[in-house]
Amino acid sequence: MIEANQGKKLGIVAEGAQWLRLPIKTRVLNPGDDLFGALEQYAVPELEPDDILFVSEKVVCITQNRIIPFKDIHPSWLARLLASRVKNYFGTKDFHGFGHGTSLAMQLLIEETGYPRALFAALAGAITRPLGIHGAFYYLCGKEAKSVDCPMSFAIVPYTHYAKRSPLDADGVARDIKNRFGVEAVIVDSNYRGAFSLGRSSRGISESFIQALMRDNPAGQGDEMTPFIIARRGVA
């Protein structure tokens, strides 16, 4: 029987309908592992025809070898400057991770974005934030850059000492999942702040639906090892 992760729930209302979010537990997946083989082994036995399969972008990055040891990242002056402006509330109850508040993650974000665009986004953010407009920097950098993270996980070794880039061709990965397993698929980035898609097998799956369905991050953010979530209409 599939159970919700600790502190989460299976059922949720998304855009007026009841949905179940079924977390699928796996072993620790590593670079060189086959994403589709893992889906075949762990998720496919639980799938029903009208399900939607949500795949964590972190596990896509791992299997694409898009993760980087800290020692191999060399922050620039711009990365150090921008990271110093990020509030992560370290040392308080509101701390949920270092993320872009580290020069390591910010360097990867800049590389994903490109230096000219990152500089423009930083300038726009500096101008708009005093006006009460938040998020301009990430909006202008784009979702792919926003998905850069460091460290990847606080609980799963060795990923406590790795950062990650964004997944490659996330839309293509989602379409390949649909073609192979016959269900719609979403590559999703979820955390304590909410969720957004990096890839969708169909434009018919709206971003607002994805954000509503995954807003509480049912896969968790620790050592749950549930990188696949099956979404199914129903009531828990």
Same domain, 93 and 108: yes
For 24-46, the pLDDT digits (tens) are 999 999 999 999 999 999 999 99
Which two three-digit tokens encode residue 107? 């360097």
pLDDT of residue 93: 58
Answer whether residue 3 is part of any domain: no
Q: For all residues of the chain together, what is the average pLDDT?
A: 89
pLDDT of residue 154: 62
Same domain, 153 and 107: yes
CA of 3: how far to CAs of 20, 24, 47, 134, in Å?
11, 9, 15, 36
Same domain, 141 and 181: no
Which of 162, 195, 212 is at the close of a domain?
162
pLDDT of residue 120: 94
Answer whether residue 181 is part of any domain: yes
Cβ-proximal residues to 217 (8 Å cutoff; 6+ apart), any chain: 8, 190, 191, 192, 194, 195
Same domain, 157 and 87: yes
* Closest by CA position to 214, among listed 185, 180, 184, 190: 190
Answer whether residue 118 is part of any domain: yes
The domain in which residue 172 lies consists of 11-66+167-233
Same domain, 157 and 195: no
Which of 162, 183, 199 is at the close of a domain?
162
- In angstroms, the CA 59 to CA 156 distance is 12
Burial (CB < 10 A; 0-12, 13-18, 19+), residue 204, is exposed
Neighbours of 69 (CB within 10 A): 10
Region 38-63: mean pLDDT is 96
